[in-house]
Chains A and B, each alone.
Chain A
Amino acid sequence: MNKKMNFVQDLLPKPKARVKEGEVGRRSFIKLLTALTAGAIAMPEKSEAFSLDEFLQKHFHQMSDEEKQKTMARLEGEYNEKYSREDFSVDDTGPQAGVKYGYALNLSKCIGCRKCTHACVDENNQHRGSEEREDQVEYIRVLEMEKGSLDVEKSVHDYTHEVPAAGKYYMPVQCHHCNDAPCVKACPVEATWQEPDGIVVVDYNWCIGCRYCAAACPYWARKFNWTAPRIPDEEVNPDTHYLGNRPRYKGVMEKCTFCINRVRKGLNPACHDICPTGSRKFGNLLDKESVVRRIIDQKRIFILKEEVGTDPSFYYFFD
């Protein structure tokens, strides 16, 4: 009996749920019929009403500048409404000539506090987890590693004890912005690509949600919106970039963009600034005087999973 009830509940629409059971079923069924008769191609849902503009929105590369401006203005309106505010901005600040971003992370210093993970969630408007699944989206995963081993299979992901623990070191992993990126090659619709400054981005209005890129990524850096993303109004970050931290949709892929909204304006990524140990170094790989470049030239650096041949822009080093 109990089991059967669970099964029935499993079939109910979750978020609103707990109306009388038969009623929900019947109502959904009627909705289904209406949707079918209306010939709706996209199913409307509670927070993301179907919009023809959105449906017909072109690939970022296919839009003229004018179309981009119009689209971004429309998006700002949509976001303002959705998060009940007035200050949303979506821009498309382009790459600067002569800049190629790189990241270097000092494994001797990192203490595994996960502050970067959380700062990233706040900065980049990630999904905060839904009621039915514990599925907050996080771009940075901090691995607790055995001293003396580089084998990620021996790592612990869900440690809760005080850090740093004896005999361990910590390795945060996020998108490596590969120069020969398997995710870019995999995507059947070119919804993800590498920008001239090295940042690998996703067009959230072009992605079809096939998740082939997620299967292809060797660093487990791509995160999918399994449900409609939820961000409390007061936690939303309104300063956004079209290819970066603007709020995403249900059913699309997203990932770290080195905080494209910040770095293209000359700031450092949020994870960089929050780190209490100074383990994180960010900068222009083409500039011989930059910190990252000096680290790469002078320190003992290594590339995670070098054998996969992705040529990342992300380096680890020890002091």
Chain B
Amino acid sequence: MVDYLTFVFKSVRGMFSGGVRYRGWLAFLMALMAMGGFAYYRQAVHGLGVSGMGDQVSWGLYIANFTFLVGVAAAAVMMVIPGYLYHNKEVKGGVLLGEMVAIGAIVMCLLFVVADLGRPDRMWHMIPPFGKFNFPVSMLAWDVLVLNGYLLLNLHVPGYLLYKKYKGEEPAKWLYLPFVYISIVWAISIHTVTAFLYTGLAGRPYWNAAILAPRFIASAFCAGPAFIILVLEIIKGWTRFPMGERIIGFLRGVVLIAGLINIFLLISEIFTEFYADSAHVASARYLFFGLHGHNALVPWIWTSISMNVLALLALISRKFESRGVIVRNIPLLMLIVAIWIEKGMGLIFPGFIPTPLGEIVEYMPSANEWMVSLGIWGVGLFIMSILLKHAVDIETGEVKPSAK
């Protein structure tokens, strides 16, 4: 117990100490958080009316970010599978880092959901036995459940492994392996359930399509690992964390394949929507070409698609792989941005336009909404940073038990 407490103490001390660049980064994130906190306070006082949302488009930037981040969180599993199952040592080191990223991402997911609530003070209504949890009927109840479960799993596994590493002991398999298996299935489930959140709504033809769930997974397994590669590149460049080339190569492969599948599904979706010219087409037409002179999303979606295609071409050509750290990661950054746009501007917003009664009201997030969102990103990146720093400290032996 005492051991464990010193472990925690030393870890926390380690998390907040570091080079100037590291501390500057943390300070920057704290500034983001402060700004977000202020904007959120404003929202709490005046209501969600300070957002750009309204009864026509009743979900916006928050839910879009939430959806995107569920994907990032779920993608950590891409590292877990080969790492633990095939005992590929190199990948294993990366797995730990992937799970740290997942923790940050889930915390952001939960914060985005909370930021979107009209009555955050009543959150306890969701907590059984005090509240009344509409389970298993409500998909949102499911989502809350699986997200929290995923968070716990991801806290347990790396926490345990790091503690053992710190002690210099071999981890006991039965204490983490079963959880690893569970978290693999679980990662798919958080993503699938989030997709069901939308596909389950028969009154929203744009979402009520079977292709949505597979597209969700494909784009997540493209943007998620891309995000993790960026993290790994930073760690590799700036720390002594032992990491081989293979893991990044492996992830680049995953990104490419998932990205291609995503594009293929996009093409099938566009074809089905427009060739048959069905009733479903209004939202899609609004998104891609504009409807009755309303076309706020058109530039966004085409930017997203072009970035997607260009980035994938760059990955296929493999020309950039051997280039400097900035150049070789530009396609990945482009993919992340492209898929972020696709989830928000491409998936959430047009689901509400036109409304079920055929009214077209456009939506753009307000300044306050952007500030809250940036603040939440600040929190998530902060958590990721200190956790990753911690993992690096332990792996490189900078935090270890004092000699007896």
Contact = CB atoms under 8 A, between A and B. Distances in A.
A59 B46 CA distance: 25
Of A43, A61, A182, the most chain B CB neighbours within 10 A belong to: A43
Interface string B187-222: 000000000010001111000000000000000000
Q: On chain A, which size bracket covers the interface?
A: 35 or more
Contacts of A214: 55, 58
A42 B54 contact: no
A109 interface: no
Interface string B347-384: 00001101111110000001110010000000000000
A224 B45 contact: no
Interface residues of B, number: 58
B280 to A, nearest CB: 11
A267 interface: no
A94 interface: no
Contacts of B121: 41-43, 55
A252 B118 contact: yes
B41 A35 contact: yes
B120 to A, nearest CB: 8
Interface in B295-340: none
B282 interface: yes
B126 A226 contact: no
A237 interface: no
Of A55, A141, A188, the most chain B CB neighbours within 10 A belong to: A188
Nearest to B145: A188
A31 B37 CA distance: 12
B263 interface: no
A252 B119 contact: yes
Interface string A190-230: 11000000000000001111111011111110111111100
B138 A251 contact: no
B369 to A, nearest CB: 11
Contacts of B289: none
A13 interface: yes
A124 to B, nearest CB: 16
B20 interface: no
Interface string B259-272: 00000000000000
B54 A210 contact: no
Given A155-B358, A186-B138, A219-B357, A206 B45 contact: no
A251 B118 contact: yes
B359 A188 contact: no
A200 to B, nearest CB: 14
B357 A157 contact: yes
Contacts of B368: 10-11
B282 to A, nearest CB: 6
A208 B46 contact: no
A103 B356 CA distance: 20
Interface in A153-203: 153-155, 157, 173, 182, 185-191
Contact of B37 (A32, A42, A226, A227): A32
Contact of A135 (B45, B49, B366): B49
Given A32-B38, A43-B45, A189 B118 contact: no
Contacts of A29: 38
A186 B45 contact: no
A10 B37 CA distance: 16
A231 B223 CA distance: 47
Nearest to A223: B55
A130 B54 CA distance: 13
A55 B39 CA distance: 24
16 contacts: A28-B38, A130-B49, A152-B358, A157-B357, A185-B138, A186-B140, A188-B133, A188-B140, A209-B117, A211-B116, A216-B203, A224-B48, A226-B51, A227-B49, A250-B47, A251-B117
Given A208-B119, A226-B53, A253-B118, 14 more contacts: A10-B368, A11-B368, A41-B121, A42-B121, A45-B45, A188-B133, A189-B122, A189-B126, A189-B141, A208-B123, A218-B204, A219-B203, A222-B55, A227-B49
Name the 6 nearest CB pairs between A and B, nearest first.
Answer: A209-B118, A218-B203, A251-B118, A42-B121, A226-B49, A227-B49
